[in-house]
């Protein structure tokens, strides 16, 4: 019966229509691997009822699976325990244990972590890859950091620009942080948290060689804070050799990350540029008959909408120099090469991306022209 191809056309048409339309309808996060590394999607800053969050740890695992994450950490506030009256537990490792249990039949890595939660100038910091959260509970913040280092943890400074602790909205690198960095007790910094991005924090990251991080800091529901608004949760992409705890840890210490929030991607040039390059696949490159206009079909294989600006000496026949390829969308651009070529270097500046404050990366793809 000839119904099958018709059904496929029926279903495909609905889908093609939505691709053309580029309407975000899926919460699944997707990013391609880069040469030499797996691209792991991580959210290493989350809360549950075991500190000041509102859900049982199992919900965080389920959210992560729905969003297609690879790695999470439930980083409860060690010191701040607003549910203490009902959850009087002395064991700060519980949310980690419960998450591990929920995730056991899945491919999701659960990293043991905690949030050292202090007033300014110490601020809030997450220690991940810890062994025991209970020993991180100390009177003096310095001792918590020292203990974290002893446990081999990777420690990052959370939302340093958070206005309740810095009223002008800029990070304040105090002596406390400087000492921690010196002592090898502070290794990273969130430049994206809860959808807030601070370029001054990015500047600190580059200046002090701190690993660039982006996390949700979710307390309520991902659905309410992000999904229903058509947003993705903020994440840190980690470029690791394999999808294992050790490999993720190695990558974090090596600084191989990109922070992502919707169409904003931030990272060091050596990490961000290969990622952007891999996000766009060249599907076709063919000259329009009888012209010197090269029709190039691009596909954005990531879940972030990407905004680009043409940087080539050639102009476009059809599109504006500034164009967006939506998540999952296939788009055709027409390059006026003036004479027929065998190949060329597609050169675009990624406008939603930063390798330094106000500095956007330029990405190149080698195109071979088909006959």
146 or 301: whose CB is closer to a copy of itself? 301
**Contact 352/361 with Cβ under 8 angstroms?**
no
The least CB distance from residue 114 to a copy of itself, in Å, is: 17
- 338 is a site residue for a copy of itself (CB under 8 A): yes
Phi and psi dihedrals of 157, rounded to 5?
Answer: -85, 120
Distance CA(134)–CA(191), nearest Å, equals 28
C-beta closer to a copy of itself: residue 33 or 179: 33
Residue closer to a copy of itself by CB (options 55, 296) is 55
Within 57-76, which residues bind a copy of itself (CB under 8 A)?
58-59, 62, 68
- Please give the residues from 133 up to 162 whose contact with a copy of itself meets the rule CB under 8 A: 161
Contact between 248 and 257 under an 8 Å Cβ cutoff? The reply is no
Q: How far is the CB of 152 from a copy of itself (least distance, A)?
A: 27
Map residue 149 onto helix, strand or coil: helix
Q: Which stretch binds a copy of itself (CB under 8 A): 72-80, 118-126, 179-187, 312-320?
A: 312-320
Site for a copy of itself in 197-236 (CB under 8 A): 197-200, 220-221, 223-224, 228-230
88 to 117, contacts with a copy of itself by CB under 8 A?
Answer: 88-89, 94
Number of C-beta neighbours around residue 124 at 10 A: 24
> Which of positions 34-53 make contact with a copy of itself (CB under 8 A)?
49-50, 53
Position among 6, 106, 179, 343 found at the interface with a copy of itself (CB under 8 A): 6
Note whether 318 binds a copy of itself by CB under 8 A.
Answer: yes
Q: Which of 36, 139, 313, 358 binds a copy of itself (CB under 8 A)?
A: 358
Please list the residues that pair with 356 across neighbouring strands. Answer: 359
CA distances 299 to 28, 66, 133, Å, are: 17, 24, 44
Q: Binding-site residue total for a copy of itself (CB under 8 A)? A: 90
With CA atoms as reference, report the closest residue to 81 among 47, 125, 43, 127: 47
What is the dihedral angle through the alpha carbons of 75, 81, 86, 90, rounded to the nearest 10 degrees? 80
Q: How many CA atoms lie within 13 A of 347 on its CB side?
A: 8
Q: Give every CB contact of residue 33 below 8 A, 6+ residues apart in sequence.
A: 39, 278
Residues numbered 158-187 forming contacts with a copy of itself, rule: CB under 8 A: 161, 163, 167-170
Residue 224 CB, nearest approach to a copy of itself (Å): 8
Alpha helices in 72-194 (DSSP H): 94-103, 141-150, 175-182
Residue closer to a copy of itself by CB (options 179, 223) is 223
Residue 363 CB-density burial (10 A; 0-12 exposed, 13-18 middle, 19+ buried): buried
Which of these segments, 26-34, 127-135, 251-259, 362-370, binds a copy of itself (CB under 8 A)? 26-34
Which parts of 236-295 interact with a copy of itself (CB under 8 A)? Answer: 263-264, 288, 290-293
Binding of residue 359 to a copy of itself (CB under 8 A):
no
């Amino acid at each position: 019966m000839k119904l099958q191809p018709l059904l496929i056309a029926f279903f495909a048409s609905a889908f093609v229509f939505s691709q053309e339309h580029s309407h975000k309808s899926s919460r699944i996060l997707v990013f391609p691997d880069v040469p030499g590394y797996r691209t792991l999607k991580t959210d290493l800053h989350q809360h549950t009822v075991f500190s000041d969050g509102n859900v049982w740890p199992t919900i965080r695992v389920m959210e992560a699976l729905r969003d297609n994450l690879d790695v999470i950490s439930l980083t409860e506030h060690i010191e701040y325990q607003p549910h203490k009256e009902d959850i009087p537990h002395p064991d700060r490792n519980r949310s980690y244990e419960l998450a591990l249990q929920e995730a056991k039949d899945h491919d999701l890595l659960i990293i043991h972590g905690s949030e050292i939660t202090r007033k300014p100038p110490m601020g809030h910091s997450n220690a991940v890859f810890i062994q025991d959260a209970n020993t991180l509970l100390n009177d003096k913040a310095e001792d918590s950091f020292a203990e974290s280092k002893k446990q081999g943890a990777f420690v990052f400074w959370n939302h340093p620009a958070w206005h309740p602790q810095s009223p002008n909205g800029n990070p304040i690198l105090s002596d406390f942080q400087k000492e921690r960095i010196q002592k090898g007790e502070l290794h990273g910094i969130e430049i994206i948290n809860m959808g807030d991005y601070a370029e001054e924090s990015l500047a600190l990251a580059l200046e002090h060689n701190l690993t660039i991080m982006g996390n949700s800091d979710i307390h309520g529901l991902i659905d309410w804070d992000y999904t229903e608004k058509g947003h993705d949760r903020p994440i840190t992409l980690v470029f690791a050799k394999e999808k294992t705890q050790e490999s993720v840890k190695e990558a974090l210490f090596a600084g191989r990350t990109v922070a992502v929030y919707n169409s904003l991607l931030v990272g060091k040039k050596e990490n961000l540029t290969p990622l952007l390059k891999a996000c766009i696949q060249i599907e076709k490159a063919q000259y329009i008959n009888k012209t010197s206009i090269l029709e190039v079909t691009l596909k954005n294989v990531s879940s972030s909408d990407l905004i680009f600006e043409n940087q080539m000496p050639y102009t476009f026949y059809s599109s504006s120099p500034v164009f967006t390829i939506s998540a999952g969308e296939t788009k055709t651009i027409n390059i006026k090469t003036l004479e027929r070529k065998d190949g060329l270097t597609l050169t675009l500046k990624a406008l939603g991306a930063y390798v330094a404050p106000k500095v956007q990366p330029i990405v190149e793809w080698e195109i071979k022209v088909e006959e």
